[in-house]
C-alpha cells in the first residue's frame, strides 16, 4: 500500500500530538480518592488507576484507528451479506412466523395489563413488573442491539392499529398533518416522563397497568389524528428508542422489492449508525438524553450529589425556611422532588453544552466549513454505543437476578398461588459478585467508547479530504470520549447515600 509524504507527516504529527495530550492529561488530572463499591465492596486498586488505564487505552485505540482506518476501509466496512438463503432466517421472516410474533406481542401487552389489574399488587409476586421493566425495557432493548429493530414489526400498538384498520380501512391514515416543527419532541418528552416514573414513581403492578393503559390510549389517539406512519416514526417513545439501538446490530431486515417479504442481511456491528443521517435537533437531544438519564440514575443517590441539595441548597433556603431543621425538613423534602425533576430535565442540556464545546474545538482544529450544528449532527450517532453500554452496565445485574425470576412468575403470573408450569417454587436468579460486576462495567464502558472513537473517525473520513486531517479533527472527540469514560467510571465508584 503506497503512502505519500503528506500522509507520513500527518501521521507523525498526529502521534506526537496524541502523546502530548496523554502527558497533559497525566499532569493536570487531579488525584481521585478511591471509594467503596456500594457499601460492602472495596475496589482492588485505586479508582485513579482505572481512570488512567481507560484514558490510555482510548488514546492507543485512537492511534490505531487513525493509522489503519482510511476511506477505502470505510467502504469495505459498509458491505452487507444476504442471508435470505439461510433456512433459519427464511423461517423466522416468513409471513406466518412474523404474524405469530405480532400476536404474541399484543398478547404480552394484554397479559401485563391483566396481571397488574387482577393480580396481587406486589412487585415481586406479580408477573407484570418483571415482564415490563426487566424483560421488555432491559432485555428486549439489549436483544435489539444484537438482532436489529424487530420492534418496527412487532410493536403491539402498531399491530393494534393495523388490526383495527382491517375492520375500518384508513382509520389511522391521519386527520391532521404532523407538524414538522414537532419532530421528535413528543418522543423526548414521553421519554423524560418515562424515566421519571422509572426512577421516582415507585410504581406497583396496579399503577403500571394504569400507566400502560393510559399510554396505549394516548398512542392510539395520536396515531388516529396524526397518522400511524408519522406517530410511530416521531412520537412513539419505544419505537424511536429501539430504532436507534437497532442501528448497532449486525443484523438488519429489509423488504424485498416487489414482493414485500422481509430479507435478512448481515453487516459489520455498529456500522448501521454510520449510514443514518441526523437532521433534527430534537433527535440529537433524544440521543443525549439516552446518555444523561442513565448517568443521572447512577449519580442521583451518591453522597456527593445528595450533599449538593441537603447541604448547599438547603443552606441557601434558610432565609425563607428558617434555621430549625426539624421544622423545615418536610418542606425541604417536598422541594427535593422538584429538584430531582429539574436536574433530570436539565441533564441533556448539560450534555449538549459539553458536546457542542468539543464539536466547536473540532471545527476550529480542522478548519471545517461546516457549522458547529452541522458537525454536531454528523457525529451524533457515534454517541449511541456509549449510551447503550452505560445502560447495560447500570442494569444488566438486574436482568440476571430479577429477570431470571420470569420463569418462576410465569407459573403464577397473578401471584395467587398457582403453579402452571411447575416452576413456582424454583429460584433461577443469577447474582454476580460485586467484583465481577465492577470489572464487567469497566470493560463494557471502555469498549463502548472505543467503538464510538471508531465511528467518529469513520464519519470524519466522509467529511474531510485527507486521512491526516480527518484524524486531526478527531482529537477533540477523543478528549470528549476520555472525559465521558472517566466520568462514567468515577460515578460507578462513588459511595451510595443510604439516607436518600
**Is the predicted pLDDT of residue 128 greater than 70, yes or no?**
yes
CB 6 within 8 A of CB 468: yes
Whole-angstrom Cα distance, residue 32 to residue 16?
A: 27
Q: How confident is the model at residue 464 (pLDDT cuts 50, 70, 90)?
A: confident
Whole-Å CA distances, 449 to 51, 209, 230, 242, 329: 13, 37, 33, 20, 42
**Is the predicted pLDDT of residue 304 greater than 90, yes or no?**
no
**Is the predicted pLDDT of residue 429 greater than 90, yes or no?**
no
Mean pLDDT over residues 243-251, rounded?
95
Which carries the bigger pLDDT value, residue 189 or residue 365? Answer: 189
Q: How confident is the model at residue 23 (pLDDT cuts 50, 70, 90)?
A: very low
Return all residues near 347 (Cβ < 8 A) that are at least 6 apart: 289, 292, 293, 295, 296
Whole-angstrom Cα distance, residue 337 to residue 355?
A: 28
Q: Of the ranges 192-201, 280-289, 325-334, which one carries the lowest mean pLDDT score?
A: 325-334
Structure confidence by residue, pLDDT tens digits, 91-114: 888 889 999 999 999 999 999 999
Mean pLDDT over residues 7-27, rounded?
39
Helices (H) and strands (E) in the chain, counts: 25, 5
In percent, how much of the chain has pLDDT > 90?
A: 43
Q: Of the ranges 199-208, 240-249, 291-300, 423-432, which one carries the lowest mean pLDDT score?
A: 423-432
Number of alpha carbons in the 13 Å side-chain half-sphere of residue 239: 22
Q: Nine-digit cell at 19? A: 502523546
Q: How confident is the model at residue 15 (pLDDT cuts 50, 70, 90)?
A: very low
Whole-angstrom Cα distance, residue 134 to residue 128?
A: 10
The mean pLDDT value of the chain amounts to 83
Structure confidence by residue, pLDDT tens digits, 40-59: 344 555 665 666 666 677 77
The predicted pLDDT at position 62 comes to 66
User: Which conformational region is residue 368 in: left (phi greater than 0), alpha (psi within -120 to 50 degrees), or beta?
Assistant: beta
CB crowding 119-158: b at 16 or more within 10 Å, else e: bbbebebbbbbbbbbbbbbbbbbebbbeebbbbbbbbbbb
Q: How confident is the model at residue 9 (pLDDT cuts 50, 70, 90)?
A: very low
**Dihedral of the alpha carbons of 160, 162, 164, 166, in degrees to the nearest 10:** -150
Mean pLDDT over residues 360-371, rounded?
89
Whole-Å CA distances, 418 to 135, 426, 451: 21, 13, 47
Mean pLDDT over residues 231-244, rounded?
97
The predicted pLDDT at position 428 comes to 76
Whole-structure pTM value:
0.86
**Is the predicted pLDDT of residue 76 greater than 70, yes or no?**
no
Whole-angstrom Cα distance, residue 255 to residue 289?
A: 31
Amino acid at each position: 500500500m503506497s503512502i505519500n509524504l503528506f500522509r507520513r507527516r500527518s501521521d507523525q504529527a498526529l502521534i506526537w500530538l496524541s502523546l502530548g495530550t496523554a502527558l497533559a492529561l497525566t499532569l493536570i488530572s487531579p488525584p481521585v480518592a478511591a471509594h467503596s463499591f456500594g457499601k460492602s465492596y472495596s475496589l482492588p486498586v485505586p479508582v485513579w488507576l482505572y481512570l488512567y488505564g481507560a484514558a490510555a487505552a482510548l488514546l492507543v485505540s485512537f492511534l490505531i484507528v487513525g493509522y489503519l482506518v482510511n476511506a477505502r476501509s470505510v467502504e469495505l466496512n459498509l458491505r452487507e451479506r444476504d442471508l435470505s438463503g439461510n433456512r433459519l432466517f427464511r423461517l423466522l421472516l416468513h409471513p406466518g412466523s412474523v404474524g405469530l410474533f405480532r400476536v404474541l406481542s399484543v398478547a404480552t401487552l394484554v397479559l401485563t395489563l391483566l396481571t397488574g389489574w387482577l393480580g396481587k399488587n406486589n412487585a415481586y409476586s406479580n408477573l407484570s413488573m418483571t415482564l415490563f421493566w426487566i424483560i421488555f425495557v432491559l432485555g428486549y432493548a439489549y436483544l435489539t442491539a444484537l438482532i436489529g429493530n424487530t420492534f418496527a414489526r412487532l410493536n403491539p400498538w402498531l399491530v393494534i392499529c393495523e388490526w383495527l384498520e382491517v375492520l375500518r380501512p384508513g382509520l389511522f391514515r391521519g386527520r391532521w398533518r404532523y407538524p414538522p416543527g414537532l419532530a421528535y419532541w413528543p418522543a423526548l418528552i414521553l421519554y423524560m416522563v418515562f424515566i421519571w416514573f422509572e426512577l421516582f414513581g415507585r410504581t406497583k403492578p396496579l399503577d403500571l397497568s394504569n400507566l400502560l393503559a393510559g399510554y396505549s390510549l394516548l398512542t392510539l389517539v395520536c396515531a388516529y389524528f396524526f397518522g400511524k406512519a408519522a406517530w410511530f416514526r416521531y412520537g412513539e417513545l419505544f419505537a424511536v428508542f429501539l430504532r436507534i439501538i437497532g442501528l448497532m446490530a449486525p443484523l438488519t431486515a429489509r423488504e424485498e422489492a416487489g414482493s414485500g417479504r422481509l430479507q435478512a442481511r448481515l453487516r459489520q456491528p455498529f456500522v448501521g449508525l454510520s449510514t443514518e443521517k441526523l437532521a433534527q435537533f430534537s433527535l440529537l437531544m433524544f440521543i443525549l438524553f439516552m446518555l444523561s438519564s442513565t448517568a443521572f440514575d447512577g449519580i442521583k443517590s451518591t453522597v456527593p450529589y445528595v450533599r449538593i441539595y441537603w447541604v448547599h441548597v438547603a443552606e441557601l433556603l434558610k432565609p425563607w425556611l428558617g434555621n430549625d431543621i426539624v421544622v423545615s425538613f418536610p418542606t425541604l423534602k417536598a422541594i427535593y422532588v422538584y429538584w430531582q425533576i429539574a436536574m433530570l430535565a436539565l441533564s441533556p442540556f448539560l450534555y449538549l453544552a459539553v458536546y457542542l464545546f468539543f464539536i466547536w474545538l473540532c471545527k476550529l482544529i480542522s478548519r471545517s466549513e461546516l457549522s458547529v450544528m452541522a458537525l454536531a449532527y454528523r457525529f451524533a450517532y457515534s454517541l449511541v454505543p456509549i449510551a447503550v453500554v452505560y445502560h447495560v452496565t447500570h442494569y444488566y445485574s438486574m436482568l440476571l437476578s430479577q429477570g431470571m425470576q420470569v420463569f418462576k412468575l410465569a407459573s403464577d403470573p397473578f401471584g395467587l398461588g398457582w403453579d402452571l408450569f411447575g416452576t413456582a417454587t424454583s429460584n433461577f436468579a443469577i447474582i454476580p459478585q460485586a467484583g465481577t460486576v465492577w470489572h464487567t462495567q469497566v470493560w463494557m464502558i471502555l469498549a463502548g467508547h472505543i467503538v464510538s472513537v471508531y465511528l467518529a473517525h469513520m464519519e470524519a473520513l466522509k467529511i474531510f479530504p485527507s486521512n491526516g486531517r480527518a484524524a486531526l479533527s478527531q482529537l477533540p472527540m477523543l478528549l470528549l470520549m476520555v472525559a465521558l469514560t472517566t466520568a462514567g467510571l468515577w460515578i460507578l465508584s462513588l459511595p451510595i447515600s443510604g439516607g436518600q
